[in-house]
Amino acid sequence: MIPYGRQDISDADIAAVVDVLRSNFITQGPAVPAFEQTVATYCGTAHAIAVNSATSALHIACLALGVGPGDVVWTSPITFVASANCALYCGATVDFVDVDSTTANISIDALRAKLEAAKVSNTLPKVVIPVHLCGTSCDMRAIRALGDQYCFRIIEDASHAIGGRYLDEPIGSCRYSDITVFSFHPVKIITTGEGGMAVTNDDELAQAMNLLRSHGVTRDPALMTGESDGGWYYQQVALGFNYRITDIQAALGTSQMARIDEFVQRRHEIADWYDEHLVDLPITALARPDDSYSALHLYVIQLELDDTSRSHRAVFDSLRAQGISVNLHYIPVYTHPYYKQLGFQAGMCPMAEAYYARAISIPMFPTLTRNEQTAVISALKQACAA
Ligand SMILES: *Cc1c(COP(=O)(O)O)cnc(C)c1O
Ligand 1 pocket mutation, candidates 183, 191, 192, 328, criterion most atoms within 8 A of CB: 183
Cα-to-centroid distance, 65 and ligand 1 (Å): 20
Ligand 1 pocket mutation, candidates 7, 155, 162, 185, criterion most atoms within 8 A of CB: 185
Question: Can you give the pLDDT at residue 216?
Answer: 97
How do residues 149-160 score in pLDDT, each as one tens digit?
999 999 999 999
Tell which atom from ligand 1 comes closest to the C-alpha of 53: 7
The number of angstroms, rounded, from the C-alpha of 327 to the middle of its chain's C-alpha atoms is: 17
Question: Can you give the pLDDT at residue 385?
Answer: 87
Question: Can you give the pLDDT at residue 95?
Answer: 98
User: What residues are paired with 299 via a beta bridge?
Assistant: 362
Helix pair angle (11-21, 247-257), 10° resolution: 150
φ, ψ dihedrals at 330, nearest 5°: -140, 165
Tell which atom from ligand 1 comes closest to the C-alpha of 160: 15
Question: Can you give the pLDDT at residue 126?
Answer: 98
Question: Can you give the pLDDT at residue 252?
Answer: 98
Question: Can you give the pLDDT at residue 386?
Answer: 64
Q: Is-contact 83 157, C-beta < 8 A? A: yes
As to burial, measured by CB atoms within 10 angstroms (0-12 exposed, 13-18 middle, 19+ buried), residue 349 is buried
Which residues of the chain have a pLDDT value below 50?
A: none
275: left (phi > 0), else alpha (psi -120 to 50), else beta? Answer: alpha
Question: Can you give the pLDDT at residue 373?
Answer: 98
Question: Can you give the pLDDT at residue 308?
Answer: 55
Tell which atom from ligand 1 comes closest to the C-alpha of 83: 11
Q: Is-contact 125 73, C-beta < 8 A? A: yes
Residues with CB under 6 A from ligand 1: 53-55, 79-80, 82-83, 131, 157, 159-160, 183, 185, 196
Cα-to-centroid distance, 196 and ligand 1 (Å): 8
Cα 95 to Cα 75: distance, rounded to the nearest angstrom? 7
